[in-house]
Structures are given as structure tokens and as C-alpha cells.
């Protein structure tokens, strides 16, 4: 390994601010704060907003989404409407056309900076320039 190009891998204390819990692990993260750990040594401190101590999934406070109930409610609404939602979506898609498309063919002025076909043929028919002879090194 080359020296001086790798980050320092050292013990770091991570503190969950919400839960007030801390744990120590090894990391390369940089930190300006330090903390005295239980063993009496001082370690760099990284404060986190959320960790396994405060995340709803790990604490058991996460709400489960009732997908079966949502599907049943949708099917009831769909059957009650007689499938009108499909026709409504198709009608909306047909209405959404680009307004500027019809105006491009009616423009008198061409907005392009590309060379026109007539200009290309005029340049080709013009007089040819003679090339200067290449200099030879003696």
C-alpha cells in the first residue's frame, strides 16, 4: 500500500442524538468532536440523527400499511364506476398535445443557424484556392 493516501482507520464513537445511546466501532469518518469513553480513552465523536436505537423499524414502532384493504377499496370504486377510469385516462392522454408543434410549419422566419442547402452548393461551385507548396527542411 502507498503511504499517505489512505484515510486513518480508527475507533470512533457514534452517538444517536434522539435516543441518547452511543456505540463504538472502527471507521474512517472525520470528526471535530471528541468524547471520553467508558474505558477512559478519548475517541472522535460522530453525532447521528437516527440509528438502530431510534429507527421505527428496529424499535417496533413502525406502522404496517394495510395493502389488502387498499386493494379492496380500489376494486369497489372501480366496479361502482363501471370502468370509467380507463376511458377518462385515455381522454386526458388525447388532449395533451404539444401546442407549439402546429406553429413551426407556419413560421416565415427560419430559426436555425445551420447552413442552408443553397449556400452549400454555392460554396462548392466557387473558385478553388490553390494550396501553397509545403516547406521542405534542408
Question: Which pLDDT tens digit goes with each residue over 38-55?
Answer: 999 999 999 998 888 887
Do the beta carbons of residue 22 and residue 39 sit within 8 Å?
Answer: no
**Averaged pLDDT score across all residues of the chain:** 76
Mean pLDDT of 108-122: 64
Angle (CA) 64-65-69 rounded to 5° is 130
Collect all residues with Cβ–Cβ distance below 8 Å to 86 and sequence separation of at least 6. none
Specify which residues 24 forms β-bridges with.
Answer: 13
Do the beta carbons of residue 119 and residue 110 sit within 8 Å?
Answer: no
More confident call, 13 vs 99: 13
pLDDT score at 104: 52
- State if pTM tops 0.85: no
Amino acid at each position: 500500500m502507498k503511504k499517505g493516501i489512505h484515510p486513518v482507520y480508527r475507533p470512533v464513537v457514534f452517538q444517536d442524538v434522539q435516543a441518547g445511546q452511543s456505540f463504538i466501532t472502527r471507521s474512517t469518518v472525520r470528526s471535530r468532536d471528541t468524547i471520553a469513553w467508558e474505558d477512559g480513552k478519548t475517541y472522535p465523536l460522530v453525532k447521528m440523527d437516527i440509528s438502530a436505537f431510534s429507527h421505527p423499524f428496529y424499535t417496533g414502532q413502525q406502522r404496517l400499511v394495510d395493502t389488502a384493504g387498499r386493494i379492496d377499496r380500489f376494486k369497489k370504486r372501480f366496479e361502482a364506476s363501471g370502468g370509467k377510469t380507463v376511458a377518462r385516462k385515455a381522454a386526458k392522454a388525447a388532449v395533451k398535445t404539444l401546442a407549439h408543434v402546429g406553429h413551426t410549419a407556419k413560421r416565415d422566419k427560419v430559426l436555425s443557424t445551420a447552413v442552408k442547402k443553397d449556400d452549400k452548393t454555392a460554396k462548392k461551385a466557387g473558385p478553388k484556392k490553390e494550396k501553397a507548396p509545403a516547406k521542405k527542411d534542408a
